[in-house]
Structures are given as structure tokens and as C-alpha cells.
Amino acid sequence: MPEEALNIIDQRTKSSYEFPFFKGAIRAANLRQIKTGPEDFGVVSYDPAFLNTAACQSSITYIDGDKGILRYRGYPIEQLAEKCTFLEVAYLILNGELPTEVQLDNWVSDIKYHTMLHEKTKNFLTGFNHDAHPMGMFISTLAALSTLYPEARKVRDPEVRKLQIRRLIGKVPTIAAYTYRHSLGYPYVYPDNELSYTENFMNMLWRMVEPKYRPNPVVSRALDILFILHADHEQNCSANVMRAVGSAEADPYVATAAAAAALSGSLHGGANEEVLKMLDAIGSKDRVPAYIEKVKAGGVKLMGFGHRIYKNYDPRARIIKWAADQVFVATCRNPKLEIALELERVALEDEYFIKRKLYPNVDFYSGIIYQALGFKPDVFTVLFAIPRTVGWLAQWQEMLEDPEQKIARPRQIYTGYEARDFVPIGKRTAHPALAIR
Ligand code: ACO
């Protein structure tokens, strides 16, 4: 038996099997060799919610959840957040290496070339109610871009992919800013390519009648850092959606819209909005202990806490806390920070959270900064989606270039009826369980 192998004995047949390890894992398809007879399909692994299934090989992002480590392409997130711009990190995530000065200049100008939206895009947005959720508008507009760039369907063509990647990264801040302006009833502001990526985003969000928008450098740097922290996070729910939809060779606009839809959920990127609602509901520092008791009793979740992978402090939450202090120098201190700090303090000393290894995640403090910058909570997830578009596209590209990948199609364990004969409508009786549907 080779040293690096797993030996399995099937007690049903007393047969033994030897499966080689592949990078520390076993190939689930090997389990199909385990059969009780020629008619048997073979063993499948049952893993609801993918708790223990690696669906791909990836060289983009590394996380050690127990140690609280996050690296993009090998570089620690702390160093990237301190020393890079968001577009520099985007280049790294997509291409595997940090850019040289010339490469960065070309990359930045390529992205800026694509910041404008087709004028018709404004028509879609105008159709939404003034109080439409910005994430709904963002997702729909992304999907609608697919109709403007039909060549994007040629996903196997690297040149076509390259163009769509630049288009999407260039256009997501413009879509996000338009959804924001729409919800406020303000006219849309066109991109200003003399500004940096983040400064231009601020320009499209906040410019009113002044001829030239002058961004606050502290705020633009803080936003840039937030963008870096949110750029990728390996096989999270929305990245998995991007890969699954992309594996069917859907174009990158609809695939990105699908990934953004996953992000909008309250257990994923939508959590930052929920954190603010929770802080509002708590109202003051002295009511924190009562809220923690409610969480422990199972009535509610402590939003912004817990993570499938991190069983330690999320390193992004630590950097966001630091960035919050910088932002509060330029804006007013958000009074909700006191409640959040107290929640964190009480939770981290409490046996319930210690035992379950529940720590603040990226969403716990991000909303507090966003609110201090003047954003309403319903825009928070859109702010998350802008940088995460880079991660989705990197995951999508890696999936398409991986010769082992095929259309994503999990198996199931069927628990329904065996074959049964059709019953004419006059002879059917109502099933009691259907009353709730
Ligand atoms: N508050 C209270 N209890 C929690 C929380 C929480 N936020 N998160 C997990 N738990 C408890 C669970 O009830 C469970 O307890 P039990 O063992 O007594 O049943 C235990 O901790 C394990 O939790 P799971 O739900 O099994 O963990 P899972 O990995 O499936 O979920 C998730 C991870 C969805 C992030 C979860 O922690 C959660 O709902 N957190 C709040 C929402 C949130 O902040 N989401 C953002 C995540 S980061 C991101 O997506 C960008």
C-alpha cells in the first residue's frame, strides 16, 4: 500500500479499498468504486452546505480560520491593506502577481476606460421605485449589462474574458453610485477619470453642484482599504455561486448578478445591514447584556458574529476597527461604535461565544464606518459587492481555466416516493401537510 493512501473496509461486503491522497484530500469520485454489486451506483459522500467538501483547487486566497490568517496570492491582508491601492490588489488577485509600475499604469487606465455606463442603463434604473432596495437594483442592472455585450457569451475566449473583466470592474462603482443617487432622487453623476477608482466613486455618489469634486483623502483611503479587505474570500457562498453559474458557460454579467444575489442574503454580505438594525434595536450600551442573553436563549443571532471558516478573530474586522478610527477623525464618531465595542467585549468573555468560537466578522464594524460616511444601511451590501466583483471574476476565470472543472452538478440522496400510479383528480384527497404551502 502506498504510504499516502486511505484504506477503507466496506463492512457490507468485507472488501477493502485503497484511495491515494491528493493534496491531503481524497477524490470523492473514488468512492464510487465501493459497491455491493454491479447494479450498485457506488458510495457518494453526503455533505449538505459543503461543510467538508473541496470543490476546486485555487491559488487565489488562503485562509487559516483557526489562526485568523487571510492572504491574497500569498501576501498577508494586513500588508496589502497598509501598502497597496485597491486596483493594485485587484491586479494581484486576478493575475497572481503584484504589478510593476508600468503594468499598474496600464491596468488603471484600462479600468478607467470602462467606467461609463451605456445611456440606456439609466432607463432600467428609472423604472425602479424610489424606495427599491439598492441591492435589487444593482443585481438587476448587472444582469441587464449582458444584453448590451452579447459577445461576452464567448467565455472560452481569453481575449473576450479579459475585456469583460475590465468592463465589470470599471462599471460596478458607476452602477452602485447610480442606484444610490436613484434612491435619493438625485441626478446621476458621470465618472471623472482624473480621479482614482475610489475617489471617482465618491464623486459619483456625492458631487452636487460643484464643478469639480474634491474628495476627502482620509475618506477615500478608508474606502480603498475597505475595498481591499472585501476583494476576495475564497470559496464563500457567492464565489461558489459565481463558479456554479459560470460552469454552465453563462456570461460573466449574469454570473456576477447571481453571485451578487447570494451576497445580498442576511447570512452573507447582507449581514452588515443587519448589524446596524441590531445596534439600533439595542439602542444603548447598558442594554447590551440583555441582548446577549436573548442571543443565548436562541431568540436572535448576534449579527456580524460567527463564520463558517474563522474560528478566531476575523483579521479583516481588526483592520476595519483601525480604519474606523481614521474615518472618525474626518467625520463624527458614530455613537453606535460604543454599543458595538461593548457587544464585542461582553460576547468575547461569555462562555456561549467562547465555546462556539464566535468572533466578530468583517461585517461587524464595516456598517459603522459606512454609516459615519453618510450611507444608509440598505446601501452597505452594494459597497461590499463593488470590490468582491474582483474576487468573483478571479474565481470565475480560474474555474474556466481549470481542465478538471465541468458544469457544477451535485448529487442527491433521493428521499421521495417509489414509483406510483397517477390518481385522477376526482379520486384525490388533500394531503394534510399541503395546508402550509
Ligand atoms: N449568534 C449566535 N449564535 C451563533 C451565531 C451568531 N451570530 N453564529 C453561529 N451561532 C451558533 C449556532 O447557533 C450554533 O450553535 P449550536 O451549536 O448550539 O447549534 C453554532 O454557533 C454553530 O453555528 P452554525 O450555524 O453551525 O455555523 P455556520 O458555519 O453554519 O454559520 C454563519 C456561519 C452563517 C456566518 C453564522 O455564524 C451566522 O449566521 N452569523 C450571523 C450572520 C453573519 O454575521 N454573517 C456574515 C458572515 S461573514 C460574510 O459572509 C461576509
pLDDT for the residue 287: 96
Question: What spacing in Å lies between the alpha carbon of 361 and ligand 1's midpoint?
Answer: 10
Say yes or no: CB of residue 362 within 6 Å of ligand 1: yes
Say yes or no: CB of residue 365 within 6 Å of ligand 1: no
Say yes or no: CB of residue 360 within 6 Å of ligand 1: no
Say yes or no: CB of residue 267 within 6 Å of ligand 1: yes
Q: Which atom of ligand 1 is nearest to the CA of 301?
A: 1
Say yes or no: CB of residue 386 within 6 Å of ligand 1: no
Question: By the 8 A CB rule, do 70 and 317 touch?
Answer: no
Domain limits, the chain: 5-46, 77-405
Residue 252 has pLDDT above 80, yes or no: yes
DSSP for 87-104? HHHHHHHHHSS---HHHH
Protein residue whose Cα sits closest to atom 14 of ligand 1: 356
pLDDT for the residue 260: 98
- Please list the residues that pair with 70 across neighbouring strands: 63
What are phi and psi for residue 418, nearest 5 degrees?
A: -70, 175
- Please list the residues that pair with 360 across neighbouring strands: 305
pLDDT for the residue 437: 60
Best residue among 305, 344, 355 to mutate for probing ligand 1, ranked by most atoms within 8 Å of CB: 305
Mean pLDDT of 53-65: 97
Q: At what angle do helices 380-401 and 271-282 cross, to 10 degrees?
A: 150
Mind telling me the catalytic residues? 268, 307, 363
Protein residue whose Cα sits closest to atom 50 of ligand 1: 268
Residue 213 three-state SS: coil
pLDDT for the residue 374: 84
pLDDT for the residue 2: 55
Question: What spacing in Å lies between the alpha carbon of 60 and ligand 1's midpoint?
Answer: 25
pLDDT-derived band at 332, boundaries 50, 70, 90: confident
pLDDT-derived band at 433, boundaries 50, 70, 90: confident
| Separation of alpha carbons 159 and 162, rounded Å | 5
Say yes or no: CB of residue 361 within 6 Å of ligand 1: yes
Say yes or no: CB of residue 358 within 6 Å of ligand 1: yes
Q: Any idea how long the chain is?
A: 437
| pLDDT per residue as tens digits for the range 224-243 | 999 999 999 999 999 999 99
pLDDT for the residue 53: 97
> How big is the CA angle at 157 (ends 106 and 230), to the nearest 5 degrees?
55
Protein residue whose Cα sits closest to atom 36 of ligand 1: 306
pLDDT for the residue 3: 63
Say yes or no: CB of residue 304 within 6 Å of ligand 1: yes
CA nearest 256: which of 63, 387, 402, 87? 387
409 to 55, 106, 241: CA distances (angstroms): 11, 39, 12
Residue 357 three-state SS: coil
DSSP for 35-51? -SSTT--------GGGT
| Separation of alpha carbons 435 and 426, rounded Å | 19
| pLDDT per residue as tens digits for the range 261-302 | 999 999 999 888 899 999 999 999 999 999 999 999 998 999
pLDDT for the residue 187: 95
Protein residue whose Cα sits closest to atom 40 of ligand 1: 306
Protein residue whose Cα sits closest to atom 26 of ligand 1: 308
| pLDDT per residue as tens digits for the range 196-222 | 999 999 999 999 999 999 999 999 999
Residue 99 has pLDDT above 70, yes or no: yes
Mean pLDDT of 1-28: 92
Residue 1 has pLDDT above 60, yes or no: no
Protein residue whose Cα sits closest to atom 32 of ligand 1: 307
Question: What spacing in Å lies between the alpha carbon of 385 and ligand 1's midpoint?
Answer: 21
| Separation of alpha carbons 209 and 212, rounded Å | 9
| Separation of alpha carbons 153 and 170, rounded Å | 19
| Separation of alpha carbons 122 and 120, rounded Å | 5
Best residue among 234, 294, 354, 356 to mutate for probing ligand 1, ranked by most atoms within 8 Å of CB: 356
| pLDDT per residue as tens digits for the range 360-394 | 998 899 988 898 888 888 899 999 999 999 999 99
Q: Spelled out in words, what is the top-level CATH class assigned to the domain 77-405?
A: mainly alpha
41 to 29, 32, 36, 320: CA distances (angstroms): 11, 7, 9, 50
Helix (H) or strand (E) holding 8: strand 5-10
Residue 7 has pLDDT above 70, yes or no: yes
Provide the residue type at 123 as one letter. N
| Separation of alpha carbons 406 and 392, rounded Å | 18
- In sequence order, the 6+-apart residues with CB closer than 8 A to the CB of 184 are none
Best residue among 361, 365, 384 to mutate for probing ligand 1, ranked by most atoms within 8 Å of CB: 361
Residue 3 three-state SS: coil
Question: By the 8 A CB rule, do 235 and 388 touch?
Answer: no
Say yes or no: CB of residue 387 within 6 Å of ligand 1: no
pLDDT-derived band at 436, boundaries 50, 70, 90: low
Say yes or no: CB of residue 226 within 6 Å of ligand 1: no
pLDDT for the residue 329: 82
Mean pLDDT of 65-79: 96
Query: What are the CB-based long-range contacts (under 8 Å, 24+) for 115-124?
Result: 115/170, 115/171, 115/173, 115/174, 115/191, 115/193, 115/200, 116/171, 116/174, 116/190, 116/191, 117/171, 117/174, 117/175, 117/178, 118/145, 118/148, 120/148, 121/145, 121/148, 121/175, 121/178, 122/178, 122/188
- In sequence order, the 6+-apart residues with CB closer than 8 A to the CB of 171 are 114, 115, 116, 117, 145
Name the strands in the sheet holding 75-76, side by side, starting at the edge strand that comes first in the sequence.
61-64, 69-72, 75-76
Q: Which atom of ligand 1 is nearest to the CA of 306?
A: 37
Q: What is the Cα Rg of the chain in Å? A: 24
| pLDDT per residue as tens digits for the range 385-411 | 999 999 999 999 999 999 999 999 999
Say yes or no: CB of residue 381 within 6 Å of ligand 1: no
In 208-287, which residue ranges form alpha helices assigned H by DSSP?
217-229, 237-247, 252-263, 271-282
Question: What spacing in Å lies between the alpha carbon of 359 and ligand 1's midpoint?
Answer: 10
